[in-house]
Amino acid sequence: MQDPYKTLGVAKNATQDEIKKAYRKLARELHPDVNPGDTKIEERFKKVSAAYHLLGDAERRKKYDAGEIDADGRETGPFGRGGGARYSGQAGGDPFGFSGANAEDIFDEIFGKAGRGGSGFGGFGGRRQAEKVKGPNISYELSLDLAEAIIGTTKRINLASGKSLEVRIPAGSEDGQTLRLKGQGMAGMNGGEAGDALIKLHVHPDKTFRREGNDLHCDLAISLAEAVLGGSIEVPTINGKVSMKLPANANSGTKLRLRGKGAAYARGDKRGDQYVHLTVKLPENRDDELIDFVREWSEKHPYKAR
């Protein structure tokens, strides 16, 4: 949100009366009933109302000036990675002027109580009924681990209104996906419905897995003996470790598939696969016995590796 002082066009040392006067002037010019159908002016009106909601209350303004809350009315300070949502910059609040007493008092002064109640604004001759205005949406951002996005989880978030909600993260959610909580945004005006809360998901990169579409990929080191002889090995999956059959004579670059161990899709009814990419890892320490054996073996069994 823009600096509320700039939005109202007042100096930071303006008095409360000056702030109220500036808002009255802008509210008269920008009110949706004065500019029917003009979405740009309506959006500016909402921002002006949000700014007045913050600065029109002396106590809230004091907290903003002291840096205790930001321009969106939220408390300042870091949020934990998975502990909740943070705002992403759209106008928001609780509910920023449309149902706050300060704004309603000013609407009464400008337009008359009858206008705000829906029978036509007194200042404009009552030519038409007050238009219902839907409240704006409020955007949030929520961080997830890859496992939480793949398997699905529930997160508690704190909304701008102060309300705390449990939000279900569907299995298979993707980075950049937006969840919509209907009616949890900014309050409407003149009986208009509330906006929505839009929660954009950010999925942290994982050290073990990488996602490609609905499939997961991971790299797995195997020993020389496992590569030559094959057998059963333990493989990590997003749901925990599982046993997988390793074919004999497995080279680096061999790709094995675990069916149904990827991300959920089709509303959770199906899952992608997991692909395991093998890398043969030799012993870290020099082994003279192994060197002598390989030298003798390679002389008897030469082959082209490239």
For residues 216 and 238, the answer to whether their CB atoms sit within 8 Å is: yes
Angle (CA) 77 81 83, round 5°:
80
Residue-level pLDDT at 97: 34
116 occurs within a structural domain = no
Look up the domain containing 31 and give its range: 1-73
102 occurs within a structural domain = no
On the CB side of 14, CA atoms within 13 Å amount to: 20
Q: What is the pLDDT along the chain (306 residues), one digit of tens a residue?
A: 578 999 999 999 999 999 999 988 888 888 776 777 788 888 888 888 888 888 888 888 998 898 888 877 666 654 433 444 554 444 333 333 333 334 545 555 555 544 444 434 434 444 445 567 788 888 889 999 999 999 999 999 888 777 888 999 999 999 999 999 999 888 777 778 888 999 999 999 999 999 999 999 999 999 999 999 999 999 999 999 999 999 999 999 999 999 999 999 887 789 999 999 999 999 989 899 999 999 999 989 888 888
CATH number at residue 172: 2.60.260.20
* Number of folded domains that form the chain: 3
Do 144 and 192 belong together in one domain? Answer: yes
What token pair was written down for 77?
């300070």
Contacts of 106 (CB under 8 A, 6+ apart): 20, 23, 24, 27, 52
Do 242 and 215 belong together in one domain? Answer: yes
Residue-level pLDDT at 205: 95
For residues 149 and 63, the answer to whether their CB atoms sit within 8 Å is: no
Do 214 and 284 belong together in one domain? Answer: yes
What token pair was written down for 111?
């337009």
Do 196 and 215 belong together in one domain? Answer: no
Three-class SS string for 30-82?
HCCCCCCCCHHHHHHHHHHHHHHHHHCCHHHHHHHHCCCECCCCCECCCCCCC
Alpha helices in the chain (DSSP H): 4-8, 16-30, 39-55, 58-65, 101-111, 113-114, 146-151, 224-229, 288-300
Length of the chain in residues, anyone?
306
Residue-level pLDDT at 110: 55
